[in-house]
Amino acid sequence: MDDADSAKAGDCVKKSSSALDDGLAVVDCGTAEAQYKVAGVHNGSSDPSVCAAGQDAYVKTVHRRRRADTAMVLCLTPTK
C-alpha cells in the first residue's frame, strides 16, 4: 500500500510496518495512527534536500518500462 502519489500538503500519513512494503498510507490526522503531516510535495525531484531542516524526506521513484521514470519527494513533519 502506498498512498504517496495522492498525498497532499496537510495530509497525515503513517509508514507501513511491513518489511515488504515501505510505502505510506494517508490516515486521519485525529487518530493515533498519524505519524507525520505532509509539509510539502515536490513532484519531478528525487533530491531530499528540498525539505527544510527538521523535516523527514520520503523519496519515491517509479521506474516505468515504456515511459520516463517519475519521482517525487514528500517533506514530512513528525506529529508527535
Closest CA to 2 of 68, 62, 76: 62
Query: How far is residue 6 from each of residues 27, 60, 69, measured CA to CA in Å?
Result: 12, 12, 17
Mean pLDDT, rounded, for 46-58: 95
Tell me the pLDDT tens digit for each residue of 14-31: 988 765 566 899 999 999
Predicted TM-score (pTM) of this structure:
0.83
Q: How confident is the model at residue 34 (pLDDT cuts 50, 70, 90)?
A: very high
Closest CA to 39 of 50, 31, 27, 28: 50
8 Å CB contact between 72 and 40: no
Helices and strands in the chain, H and E counts: 0, 5
Residue 19 confidence (pLDDT): 59
8 Å CB contact between 60 and 71: yes
